[in-house]
Amino acid sequence: MIDKLIDWFDRHRELPPLHRVVLAVSGGVDSMVAMDLIGQLSGALGFSVVVCHVDHRMRPESGDEQRFVEAEAVRRGLAFQGVAVDVPGRIRKTGESPQAAARALRYEALTQCAREAGAEAVILAHHQDDQAETVLLRLLRGTSPAGLGGMNEVRRWGDLWWLRPFLKVPKAELVAYATDHGIPYREDPSNWSTKYLRNKIRLQLIPLLEREYQPQIKNHLARLAQMIQEDEAVLTPMALEARDRCVRGGSGNYRIDIPRFSDLPAALQRRVLTLILDYPSERLPGWGAIQVEALRNLALHGRSGSELRLSGGWRARRVYDELVLDRFGEAGRIGVGPVGVPPMPLLVPGRTSCPILGVTIDATVVSRQEWELRARAEAANDPGVGPSTPAVADFDWERMEGRPLFIRSRLPGDRFAPFGLGGTKKIKDVWIDDKVPRELRDRWPLLAAGREILWIIGWRRSDRWPVAKDTRRILHVEATWTDEEIREWAHRRTRKN
Protein backbone atom coordinates (compact mmCIF):
# COMPACT_ATOMS: atom_id res chain seq x y z
CA MET A 1 0.00 0.00 0.00
CA ILE A 2 2.88 2.37 0.77
CA ASP A 3 4.37 1.70 -2.66
CA LYS A 4 1.03 2.57 -4.28
CA LEU A 5 0.92 5.87 -2.43
CA ILE A 6 4.49 6.78 -3.39
CA ASP A 7 3.73 5.90 -7.01
CA TRP A 8 0.61 8.07 -6.92
CA PHE A 9 2.55 11.18 -5.92
CA ASP A 10 5.27 10.37 -8.48
CA ARG A 11 2.68 10.15 -11.27
CA HIS A 12 0.99 13.47 -10.49
CA ARG A 13 3.69 15.81 -11.68
CA GLU A 14 1.17 18.63 -12.08
CA LEU A 15 1.23 19.16 -8.33
CA PRO A 16 3.47 21.94 -7.01
CA PRO A 17 5.89 21.24 -4.15
CA LEU A 18 3.73 20.65 -1.08
CA HIS A 19 4.98 21.90 2.26
CA ARG A 20 1.87 21.32 4.37
CA VAL A 21 -1.35 19.39 3.77
CA VAL A 22 -4.63 19.00 5.62
CA LEU A 23 -5.83 15.40 5.89
CA ALA A 24 -9.58 14.92 6.41
CA VAL A 25 -10.16 12.13 8.95
CA SER A 26 -13.63 11.08 10.02
CA GLY A 27 -12.56 8.05 12.05
CA GLY A 28 -13.79 5.51 9.51
CA VAL A 29 -11.55 2.76 8.18
CA ASP A 30 -10.60 4.57 4.96
CA SER A 31 -9.54 7.83 6.60
CA MET A 32 -7.76 6.06 9.48
CA VAL A 33 -5.71 4.04 6.98
CA ALA A 34 -5.00 7.27 5.11
CA MET A 35 -3.77 8.88 8.35
CA ASP A 36 -1.47 5.94 9.03
CA LEU A 37 0.01 5.89 5.52
CA ILE A 38 0.25 9.65 4.96
CA GLY A 39 1.73 10.05 8.43
CA GLN A 40 4.43 7.48 7.65
CA LEU A 41 5.32 8.99 4.28
CA SER A 42 4.94 12.71 4.96
CA GLY A 43 8.63 13.15 5.77
CA ALA A 44 9.73 11.35 2.62
CA LEU A 45 7.23 13.32 0.54
CA GLY A 46 8.43 16.59 2.03
CA PHE A 47 5.32 17.94 3.74
CA SER A 48 3.87 18.18 7.24
CA VAL A 49 0.33 17.03 8.02
CA VAL A 50 -2.55 18.64 9.88
CA VAL A 51 -5.33 16.15 10.67
CA CYS A 52 -8.76 17.79 10.50
CA HIS A 53 -11.88 16.14 11.94
CA VAL A 54 -15.28 17.73 11.23
CA ASP A 55 -17.94 17.07 13.86
CA HIS A 56 -21.38 17.40 12.26
CA ARG A 57 -23.10 17.14 15.65
CA MET A 58 -25.79 14.90 14.19
CA ARG A 59 -25.23 11.94 16.53
CA PRO A 60 -24.67 11.71 20.30
CA GLU A 61 -21.40 9.82 19.87
CA SER A 62 -19.82 12.37 17.50
CA GLY A 63 -17.84 14.00 20.32
CA ASP A 64 -16.30 10.65 21.24
CA GLU A 65 -15.28 10.13 17.62
CA GLN A 66 -13.48 13.49 17.53
CA ARG A 67 -11.56 12.62 20.71
CA PHE A 68 -10.68 9.22 19.20
CA VAL A 69 -9.28 10.80 16.02
CA GLU A 70 -7.36 13.41 18.02
CA ALA A 71 -5.75 10.74 20.21
CA GLU A 72 -4.68 8.69 17.18
CA ALA A 73 -3.26 11.77 15.44
CA VAL A 74 -1.29 12.80 18.52
CA ARG A 75 0.01 9.23 18.92
CA ARG A 76 1.47 9.50 15.40
CA GLY A 77 2.97 12.92 16.08
CA LEU A 78 0.57 14.73 13.74
CA ALA A 79 -1.01 18.13 14.34
CA PHE A 80 -4.77 18.02 14.93
CA GLN A 81 -7.62 20.45 14.32
CA GLY A 82 -11.22 19.69 15.35
CA VAL A 83 -14.06 21.69 13.81
CA ALA A 84 -17.75 21.55 14.77
CA VAL A 85 -20.43 22.61 12.28
CA ASP A 86 -24.16 23.31 12.62
CA VAL A 87 -25.89 21.01 10.14
CA PRO A 88 -29.47 21.46 11.47
CA GLY A 89 -29.01 25.23 11.35
CA ARG A 90 -27.95 25.10 7.70
CA ILE A 91 -30.93 22.86 6.90
CA ARG A 92 -33.30 25.42 8.38
CA LYS A 93 -31.59 28.17 6.39
CA THR A 94 -31.22 26.47 3.00
CA GLY A 95 -33.78 23.65 2.89
CA GLU A 96 -31.07 21.17 1.87
CA SER A 97 -31.14 17.50 2.77
CA PRO A 98 -29.07 16.52 5.85
CA GLN A 99 -26.42 14.88 3.68
CA ALA A 100 -26.13 17.87 1.32
CA ALA A 101 -25.93 20.30 4.24
CA ALA A 102 -23.30 18.19 6.03
CA ARG A 103 -21.23 17.89 2.87
CA ALA A 104 -21.26 21.62 2.16
CA LEU A 105 -20.28 22.50 5.72
CA ARG A 106 -17.59 19.82 5.74
CA TYR A 107 -15.88 21.27 2.67
CA GLU A 108 -16.16 24.78 4.08
CA ALA A 109 -14.55 23.61 7.32
CA LEU A 110 -11.73 21.81 5.51
CA THR A 111 -11.07 24.87 3.36
CA GLN A 112 -10.93 27.12 6.41
CA CYS A 113 -8.67 24.67 8.24
CA ALA A 114 -6.27 24.55 5.27
CA ARG A 115 -6.09 28.32 5.03
CA GLU A 116 -5.47 28.76 8.74
CA ALA A 117 -2.74 26.09 8.62
CA GLY A 118 -1.10 27.59 5.52
CA ALA A 119 -1.62 24.31 3.64
CA GLU A 120 -1.49 24.01 -0.14
CA ALA A 121 -3.67 20.90 -0.38
CA VAL A 122 -6.44 18.89 1.27
CA ILE A 123 -6.22 15.10 1.11
CA LEU A 124 -9.46 13.10 1.11
CA ALA A 125 -9.69 9.33 1.65
CA HIS A 126 -12.29 8.48 -0.99
CA HIS A 127 -11.72 5.05 -2.52
CA GLN A 128 -12.83 3.05 -5.56
CA ASP A 129 -16.10 1.95 -3.95
CA ASP A 130 -16.96 5.62 -3.31
CA GLN A 131 -16.27 6.38 -6.97
CA ALA A 132 -18.58 3.59 -8.15
CA GLU A 133 -21.35 4.83 -5.84
CA THR A 134 -20.91 8.41 -7.10
CA VAL A 135 -21.22 7.37 -10.75
CA LEU A 136 -24.38 5.36 -10.05
CA LEU A 137 -25.83 8.14 -7.90
CA ARG A 138 -25.31 10.75 -10.61
CA LEU A 139 -26.68 8.41 -13.28
CA LEU A 140 -29.87 7.85 -11.27
CA ARG A 141 -30.30 11.57 -10.69
CA GLY A 142 -29.91 12.41 -14.36
CA THR A 143 -26.39 13.70 -14.88
CA SER A 144 -24.69 14.93 -18.03
CA PRO A 145 -21.94 12.80 -19.62
CA ALA A 146 -19.31 14.84 -17.77
CA GLY A 147 -20.98 13.94 -14.47
CA LEU A 148 -20.26 10.26 -15.12
CA GLY A 149 -16.60 11.13 -14.62
CA GLY A 150 -17.30 11.01 -10.90
CA MET A 151 -14.69 12.42 -8.54
CA ASN A 152 -11.26 13.58 -9.65
CA GLU A 153 -8.01 12.32 -8.15
CA VAL A 154 -6.58 15.83 -8.44
CA ARG A 155 -8.64 19.00 -8.56
CA ARG A 156 -7.64 22.63 -8.27
CA TRP A 157 -10.32 24.65 -6.48
CA GLY A 158 -9.55 28.25 -5.71
CA ASP A 159 -6.18 28.44 -3.99
CA LEU A 160 -6.21 24.78 -2.84
CA TRP A 161 -5.49 21.39 -4.36
CA TRP A 162 -7.94 18.64 -3.46
CA LEU A 163 -6.29 15.22 -3.64
CA ARG A 164 -7.74 11.70 -3.58
CA PRO A 165 -4.75 9.35 -3.74
CA PHE A 166 -6.84 6.26 -2.84
CA LEU A 167 -9.53 6.71 -5.48
CA LYS A 168 -8.42 3.62 -7.43
CA VAL A 169 -8.00 1.47 -4.31
CA PRO A 170 -10.91 -0.89 -3.46
CA LYS A 171 -12.26 -0.51 0.05
CA ALA A 172 -11.51 -4.19 0.71
CA GLU A 173 -7.78 -3.43 0.41
CA LEU A 174 -8.06 -0.62 2.95
CA VAL A 175 -9.94 -2.87 5.36
CA ALA A 176 -7.34 -5.60 4.91
CA TYR A 177 -4.54 -3.11 5.60
CA ALA A 178 -6.29 -1.92 8.77
CA THR A 179 -6.70 -5.53 9.95
CA ASP A 180 -3.12 -6.53 9.16
CA HIS A 181 -1.63 -3.47 10.87
CA GLY A 182 -4.02 -3.22 13.83
CA ILE A 183 -5.34 0.19 12.89
CA PRO A 184 -8.41 1.09 14.99
CA TYR A 185 -11.40 2.82 13.41
CA ARG A 186 -14.98 3.74 14.19
CA GLU A 187 -18.09 2.78 12.21
CA ASP A 188 -20.63 5.55 11.65
CA PRO A 189 -24.02 3.87 12.35
CA SER A 190 -25.76 6.21 9.91
CA ASN A 191 -23.83 4.46 7.10
CA TRP A 192 -26.20 1.52 7.58
CA SER A 193 -29.38 3.55 7.26
CA THR A 194 -31.24 3.18 3.96
CA LYS A 195 -32.87 6.56 4.49
CA TYR A 196 -30.23 8.11 2.22
CA LEU A 197 -29.98 7.29 -1.47
CA ARG A 198 -26.20 6.84 -1.44
CA ASN A 199 -26.52 4.29 1.36
CA LYS A 200 -29.23 2.43 -0.55
CA ILE A 201 -26.94 2.28 -3.57
CA ARG A 202 -24.09 0.93 -1.46
CA LEU A 203 -26.12 -1.49 0.67
CA GLN A 204 -28.76 -2.66 -1.80
CA LEU A 205 -28.19 -1.75 -5.45
CA ILE A 206 -24.49 -2.54 -5.85
CA PRO A 207 -24.75 -5.92 -4.02
CA LEU A 208 -27.70 -6.79 -6.28
CA LEU A 209 -25.73 -5.87 -9.41
CA GLU A 210 -22.71 -7.83 -8.18
CA ARG A 211 -24.79 -10.87 -7.29
CA GLU A 212 -27.20 -11.01 -10.24
CA TYR A 213 -25.49 -9.18 -13.11
CA GLN A 214 -21.79 -8.32 -12.91
CA PRO A 215 -19.41 -9.22 -10.06
CA GLN A 216 -16.94 -6.58 -11.29
CA ILE A 217 -19.48 -3.74 -11.47
CA LYS A 218 -17.46 -1.46 -9.17
CA ASN A 219 -14.33 -1.90 -11.27
CA HIS A 220 -16.31 -1.24 -14.45
CA LEU A 221 -17.89 1.92 -13.05
CA ALA A 222 -14.53 3.23 -11.83
CA ARG A 223 -12.98 2.52 -15.22
CA LEU A 224 -15.88 4.29 -16.95
CA ALA A 225 -15.29 7.35 -14.74
CA GLN A 226 -11.60 7.35 -15.67
CA MET A 227 -12.40 7.13 -19.41
CA ILE A 228 -14.94 9.95 -19.14
CA GLN A 229 -12.39 12.13 -17.38
CA GLU A 230 -9.87 11.44 -20.14
CA ASP A 231 -12.48 12.33 -22.78
CA GLU A 232 -13.28 15.54 -20.92
CA ALA A 233 -9.61 16.49 -20.88
CA VAL A 234 -9.75 16.53 -24.69
CA LEU A 235 -13.22 18.06 -25.10
CA THR A 236 -12.92 20.80 -22.48
CA PRO A 237 -10.37 22.89 -24.44
CA MET A 238 -12.69 22.68 -27.47
CA ALA A 239 -15.59 23.83 -25.31
CA LEU A 240 -13.51 26.70 -23.92
CA GLU A 241 -12.74 27.87 -27.43
CA ALA A 242 -16.43 27.62 -28.39
CA ARG A 243 -17.41 29.52 -25.24
CA ASP A 244 -15.02 32.34 -26.12
CA ARG A 245 -16.68 32.64 -29.55
CA CYS A 246 -20.28 32.90 -28.39
CA VAL A 247 -20.32 34.03 -24.73
CA ARG A 248 -19.77 37.52 -23.33
CA GLY A 249 -19.58 38.63 -19.71
CA GLY A 250 -18.57 36.85 -16.54
CA SER A 251 -18.74 36.86 -12.73
CA GLY A 252 -22.34 35.73 -12.55
CA ASN A 253 -23.71 37.50 -15.65
CA TYR A 254 -23.36 35.93 -19.10
CA ARG A 255 -24.80 36.66 -22.54
CA ILE A 256 -24.83 33.88 -25.12
CA ASP A 257 -25.03 34.80 -28.81
CA ILE A 258 -27.76 32.39 -29.91
CA PRO A 259 -26.96 32.32 -33.68
CA ARG A 260 -23.35 31.36 -32.92
CA PHE A 261 -24.44 28.99 -30.16
CA SER A 262 -26.88 27.30 -32.55
CA ASP A 263 -24.08 26.58 -35.01
CA LEU A 264 -22.21 24.47 -32.44
CA PRO A 265 -22.66 20.68 -32.28
CA ALA A 266 -25.02 19.65 -29.50
CA ALA A 267 -22.14 18.14 -27.49
CA LEU A 268 -20.30 21.47 -27.44
CA GLN A 269 -23.51 23.38 -26.67
CA ARG A 270 -23.94 21.33 -23.51
CA ARG A 271 -20.33 21.80 -22.51
CA VAL A 272 -20.46 25.55 -23.07
CA LEU A 273 -23.42 25.76 -20.70
CA THR A 274 -21.80 23.57 -18.08
CA LEU A 275 -18.60 25.60 -18.26
CA ILE A 276 -20.57 28.77 -17.57
CA LEU A 277 -22.31 27.21 -14.60
CA ASP A 278 -19.21 25.34 -13.41
CA TYR A 279 -20.77 21.87 -13.62
CA PRO A 280 -20.00 19.28 -12.40
CA SER A 281 -18.62 21.37 -9.56
CA GLU A 282 -17.98 19.48 -6.36
CA ARG A 283 -19.04 22.60 -4.46
CA LEU A 284 -22.26 23.37 -6.33
CA PRO A 285 -24.19 20.10 -6.69
CA GLY A 286 -27.53 19.98 -8.42
CA TRP A 287 -26.71 20.70 -12.07
CA GLY A 288 -27.71 17.74 -14.19
CA ALA A 289 -28.76 16.81 -17.71
CA ILE A 290 -32.36 17.95 -17.13
CA GLN A 291 -31.36 21.50 -16.30
CA VAL A 292 -28.75 21.70 -19.06
CA GLU A 293 -31.29 20.46 -21.63
CA ALA A 294 -33.85 22.96 -20.35
CA LEU A 295 -31.30 25.72 -20.98
CA ARG A 296 -30.54 24.42 -24.48
CA ASN A 297 -34.24 24.30 -25.32
CA LEU A 298 -34.71 27.85 -24.08
CA ALA A 299 -31.78 29.03 -26.20
CA LEU A 300 -32.77 27.15 -29.35
CA HIS A 301 -36.58 27.24 -29.22
CA GLY A 302 -37.67 29.74 -26.55
CA ARG A 303 -39.50 32.99 -27.24
CA SER A 304 -38.01 36.33 -26.33
CA GLY A 305 -39.06 37.14 -22.76
CA SER A 306 -39.32 33.52 -21.56
CA GLU A 307 -37.17 32.49 -18.62
CA LEU A 308 -36.12 29.61 -16.38
CA ARG A 309 -35.24 29.49 -12.68
CA LEU A 310 -32.41 27.07 -11.99
CA SER A 311 -30.33 25.59 -9.15
CA GLY A 312 -27.93 27.70 -7.17
CA GLY A 313 -29.89 30.92 -7.56
CA TRP A 314 -29.46 31.16 -11.35
CA ARG A 315 -32.00 32.37 -13.87
CA ALA A 316 -31.90 32.24 -17.68
CA ARG A 317 -33.82 34.59 -19.99
CA ARG A 318 -34.28 34.59 -23.75
CA VAL A 319 -33.81 38.19 -24.88
CA TYR A 320 -34.20 38.30 -28.67
CA ASP A 321 -31.00 36.71 -30.08
CA GLU A 322 -29.31 36.29 -26.71
CA LEU A 323 -29.63 33.91 -23.79
CA VAL A 324 -28.90 35.86 -20.59
CA LEU A 325 -27.78 33.93 -17.50
CA ASP A 326 -27.37 35.68 -14.18
CA ARG A 327 -27.67 35.16 -10.48
CA PHE A 328 -31.03 35.85 -8.92
CA GLY A 329 -30.82 39.08 -6.97
CA GLU A 330 -27.75 40.38 -8.84
CA ALA A 331 -29.69 42.01 -11.65
CA GLY A 332 -32.82 43.25 -9.87
CA ARG A 333 -36.05 41.61 -8.82
CA ILE A 334 -37.54 39.02 -11.09
CA GLY A 335 -41.15 39.71 -11.89
CA VAL A 336 -44.06 37.33 -12.13
CA GLY A 337 -42.81 33.88 -13.02
CA PRO A 338 -44.24 30.96 -14.94
CA VAL A 339 -47.98 30.34 -14.68
CA GLY A 340 -49.42 27.00 -15.77
CA VAL A 341 -46.08 25.21 -16.05
CA PRO A 342 -46.74 21.79 -17.65
CA PRO A 343 -47.17 19.19 -14.89
CA MET A 344 -44.02 17.21 -14.12
CA PRO A 345 -44.74 13.63 -12.95
CA LEU A 346 -43.53 12.90 -9.43
CA LEU A 347 -41.26 9.87 -9.26
CA VAL A 348 -42.35 7.52 -6.46
CA PRO A 349 -39.93 6.42 -5.18
CA GLY A 350 -37.26 8.73 -6.52
CA ARG A 351 -36.06 12.29 -6.92
CA THR A 352 -37.89 14.76 -9.17
CA SER A 353 -36.10 17.97 -10.10
CA CYS A 354 -38.29 20.83 -11.34
CA PRO A 355 -35.80 23.64 -12.05
CA ILE A 356 -38.34 25.96 -13.63
CA LEU A 357 -40.24 26.06 -10.31
CA GLY A 358 -37.10 26.03 -8.19
CA VAL A 359 -37.66 22.81 -6.25
CA THR A 360 -36.50 19.21 -6.02
CA ILE A 361 -38.72 16.58 -4.40
CA ASP A 362 -37.49 13.31 -2.87
CA ALA A 363 -40.33 10.80 -2.50
CA THR A 364 -40.14 7.51 -0.63
CA VAL A 365 -42.69 4.93 0.50
CA VAL A 366 -41.92 3.64 4.00
CA SER A 367 -43.51 1.29 6.48
CA ARG A 368 -45.27 2.62 9.55
CA GLN A 369 -42.46 1.34 11.77
CA GLU A 370 -39.72 2.99 9.69
CA TRP A 371 -41.70 6.24 9.55
CA GLU A 372 -42.10 6.36 13.33
CA LEU A 373 -38.44 5.49 13.92
CA ARG A 374 -37.34 8.21 11.51
CA ALA A 375 -39.61 10.77 13.15
CA ARG A 376 -38.21 10.00 16.60
CA ALA A 377 -34.61 10.07 15.34
CA GLU A 378 -35.04 13.42 13.58
CA ALA A 379 -36.80 14.96 16.55
CA ALA A 380 -34.01 13.76 18.82
CA ASN A 381 -31.34 15.33 16.60
CA ASP A 382 -33.12 18.65 16.24
CA PRO A 383 -36.83 19.41 16.57
CA GLY A 384 -36.48 22.00 13.80
CA VAL A 385 -35.85 19.42 11.08
CA GLY A 386 -38.48 16.86 12.05
CA PRO A 387 -41.60 15.82 10.15
CA SER A 388 -43.49 18.91 11.29
CA THR A 389 -41.45 21.28 9.13
CA PRO A 390 -43.10 22.74 6.01
CA ALA A 391 -40.43 21.18 3.77
CA VAL A 392 -41.80 17.69 4.60
CA ALA A 393 -45.22 16.14 4.02
CA ASP A 394 -46.60 12.63 4.63
CA PHE A 395 -49.62 10.92 3.07
CA ASP A 396 -51.50 7.64 3.47
CA TRP A 397 -50.04 5.73 0.54
CA GLU A 398 -52.48 2.83 0.83
CA ARG A 399 -55.45 5.10 0.12
CA MET A 400 -53.82 7.10 -2.67
CA GLU A 401 -51.59 4.52 -4.38
CA GLY A 402 -52.11 4.38 -8.14
CA ARG A 403 -53.07 8.03 -8.50
CA PRO A 404 -50.63 9.96 -10.73
CA LEU A 405 -48.93 12.79 -8.86
CA PHE A 406 -47.46 15.92 -10.41
CA ILE A 407 -45.47 19.05 -9.56
CA ARG A 408 -46.91 22.12 -11.25
CA SER A 409 -47.67 25.80 -10.82
CA ARG A 410 -51.14 27.17 -10.12
CA LEU A 411 -53.97 27.11 -12.63
CA PRO A 412 -56.96 29.46 -12.79
CA GLY A 413 -59.62 28.36 -10.32
CA ASP A 414 -57.35 26.08 -8.27
CA ARG A 415 -58.89 25.30 -4.88
CA PHE A 416 -57.33 23.92 -1.73
CA ALA A 417 -58.63 22.16 1.38
CA PRO A 418 -56.44 23.24 4.34
CA PHE A 419 -56.46 21.19 7.53
CA GLY A 420 -59.20 22.23 9.93
CA LEU A 421 -61.24 24.27 7.45
CA GLY A 422 -63.82 21.59 6.69
CA GLY A 423 -64.05 22.74 3.07
CA THR A 424 -62.08 24.33 0.26
CA LYS A 425 -60.98 27.83 -0.66
CA LYS A 426 -59.19 29.32 -3.61
CA ILE A 427 -55.42 29.08 -3.42
CA LYS A 428 -55.38 32.76 -4.31
CA ASP A 429 -57.29 33.47 -1.08
CA VAL A 430 -54.94 31.24 0.95
CA TRP A 431 -51.98 33.28 -0.26
CA ILE A 432 -53.75 36.58 0.38
CA ASP A 433 -54.63 35.48 3.92
CA ASP A 434 -51.03 34.37 4.54
CA LYS A 435 -49.69 37.61 3.02
CA VAL A 436 -47.54 35.83 0.42
CA PRO A 437 -46.23 38.41 -2.09
CA ARG A 438 -48.03 38.47 -5.42
CA GLU A 439 -44.79 37.96 -7.38
CA LEU A 440 -44.22 34.60 -5.66
CA ARG A 441 -47.66 33.10 -6.14
CA ASP A 442 -47.42 32.37 -9.86
CA ARG A 443 -44.19 30.43 -9.57
CA TRP A 444 -44.85 28.64 -6.26
CA PRO A 445 -44.68 24.84 -6.82
CA LEU A 446 -47.68 22.67 -5.99
CA LEU A 447 -48.01 18.91 -5.51
CA ALA A 448 -51.20 17.78 -7.19
CA ALA A 449 -53.22 14.69 -8.06
CA GLY A 450 -54.98 15.91 -11.18
CA ARG A 451 -56.72 19.18 -10.28
CA GLU A 452 -56.66 18.33 -6.58
CA ILE A 453 -53.92 20.23 -4.72
CA LEU A 454 -52.32 18.09 -2.01
CA TRP A 455 -49.54 20.40 -0.89
CA ILE A 456 -48.59 24.01 -1.43
CA ILE A 457 -45.02 22.81 -1.25
CA GLY A 458 -43.23 24.04 1.83
CA TRP A 459 -46.23 26.13 2.92
CA ARG A 460 -49.49 24.29 3.61
CA ARG A 461 -50.65 20.69 3.31
CA SER A 462 -54.21 19.79 2.37
CA ASP A 463 -56.46 17.55 4.46
CA ARG A 464 -56.39 14.82 1.81
CA TRP A 465 -55.03 11.36 2.75
CA PRO A 466 -53.52 12.14 6.16
CA VAL A 467 -51.58 9.43 7.98
CA ALA A 468 -54.14 7.61 10.13
CA LYS A 469 -53.77 5.18 13.01
CA ASP A 470 -54.29 2.21 10.68
CA THR A 471 -51.94 3.46 7.94
CA ARG A 472 -49.28 0.87 7.21
CA ARG A 473 -47.45 2.47 4.27
CA ILE A 474 -46.64 6.16 4.08
CA LEU A 475 -45.61 8.39 1.21
CA HIS A 476 -42.89 10.67 2.60
CA VAL A 477 -41.97 13.69 0.46
CA GLU A 478 -39.20 16.21 1.17
CA ALA A 479 -38.63 19.48 -0.69
CA THR A 480 -35.25 21.04 -1.38
CA TRP A 481 -35.39 24.60 -2.69
CA THR A 482 -33.38 26.05 -5.56
CA ASP A 483 -35.54 29.21 -5.72
CA GLU A 484 -33.92 31.32 -3.03
CA GLU A 485 -36.77 33.78 -2.58
CA ILE A 486 -39.44 31.10 -2.12
CA ARG A 487 -37.09 29.21 0.19
CA GLU A 488 -36.78 32.29 2.38
CA TRP A 489 -40.57 32.67 2.57
CA ALA A 490 -41.03 28.97 3.38
CA HIS A 491 -38.52 29.24 6.22
CA ARG A 492 -40.15 32.43 7.43
CA ARG A 493 -43.26 30.33 8.02
CA THR A 494 -41.10 27.76 9.86
CA ARG A 495 -39.83 30.46 12.20
CA LYS A 496 -43.36 31.69 12.87
CA ASN A 497 -44.43 28.20 13.82
> For residue 414, what are the CA distances in angstroms to 383, 428, 452?
33, 8, 8
Q: What is the DSSP string of 424-466?
A: -EEHHHHHHHTT--HHHHTT--EEEETTEEEEETTTEEBSSS-
Strands (E), 223-378: 247-250, 253-257, 307-310, 314-319, 322-327, 344-345, 350-354, 359-367
- Is 262 assigned a ligand-binding role in the annotation? no
Buried/exposed 366-388: b ≥16 CB within 10 Å, e otherwise = beeebbeebbeebeebbebbbbe
- Please give the backbone phi and psi of residue 486, each rounded to the nearest 5 degrees, phi first: -65, -40
Q: Is 438 exposed, middle or buried (0-12, 13-18, 19+ CB in 10 A)?
A: exposed
Helix (H, G, I), strand (E, B) or coil at 236: helix
C-alpha to C-alpha distance for 201 and 132, rounded to whole angstroms: 10
29 known ligand binder: yes
Cα angle 454-457-463, degrees, rounded to a multiple of 5: 30
CB distance 78 to 40 below 8 Å: no
Check whether 27 is labelled as a binding-site residue: yes
DSSP structure class, residue 357 = G
Q: Which three-class secondary structure state does DSSP give residue 29?
A: helix
Of 50, 57, 48, 117, residue with least CA distance to 84: 57
Any residues with CB less than 8 A from the CB of 290 and at least 6 apart, and which? 142, 353, 355
Task: Kindly give, in sequence order, each residue whose CB lies less than 8 Å from that of residue 349, ignoring residues fewer than 6 positions away.
Answer: 363, 364, 365
Taking alpha carbons only, the member of 69, 105, 94 closest to residue 188 is 69
Whether the Cβ atoms of residue 258 and residue 236 lie closer than 8 Å to each other:
no
Closest by CA to 444, choosing from 357, 361, 341, 362, is 357
Pairing state between β 79-84 and 48-55:
parallel
Please check if 26 is assigned to a binding site.
yes
Edge-to-edge strand ranges of the sheet holding 121-123: 79-84, 48-55, 20-24, 121-123, 160-163, 154-157
Quickly list DSSP for 179-213: HHTT------GGGG-TTSHHHHIIIIIHHHHHHHT
What is the Cα–Cα distance from 330 to 314, expressed in whole angstroms?
A: 10
Q: How far apart are CA 348 and CA 405, in angstroms?
A: 9
Binding-site residues for ATP, in ranges, read: 26-31
Binding-site residues, in ranges, read: 26-31
